[in-house]
Amino acid sequence: MAAGINVPITPGLKPITTHKQLSVVPHYFHVNLPDKLVDEIEDCKTNEQARQASVKWCIQQSQELIEAGVPVLHYYSMGKARSIKEIAEEVFGS
């Protein structure tokens, strides 16, 4: 790699919207989900509760990244814009 070349890295966040995504997301995105998040979602009785827990998690992660000086965040909606809208309203204002 040539000296002086900076490659920007944009953090991507994907809120979990169903229990099934606990196995689907790691497979397709090639990521490991945090154990604490998995435990919280597994404790949810409905997919709506799981979605809400994940939205809360994404809000917290977004705020931490912004506080750390990350200039850009990318959200994977995968056709589930409602969760992203809730996160963006909380993090960036309505």
Regarding predicted confidence, which is higher, 94 or 86?
86
Residue 1 lies in a domain: no
Number of domains in the chain: 1
Q: What are the DSSP calls for 33-89, one per residue?
A: --HHHHHHHHH-SSHHHHHHHHHHHHHHHHHHHHHTT----EE--TT-HHHHHHHHH
Residue 22 lies in a domain: yes
Residue 52 lies in a domain: yes
Residue 67 lies in a domain: yes
Residue 4 lies in a domain: no
pLDDT digits (tens, 9 = 90+) for 5-40: 888 889 999 999 999 999 999 998 899 999 999 999
Which range marks the domain in which residue 43 is found?
Answer: 12-92
Residue 50 lies in a domain: yes
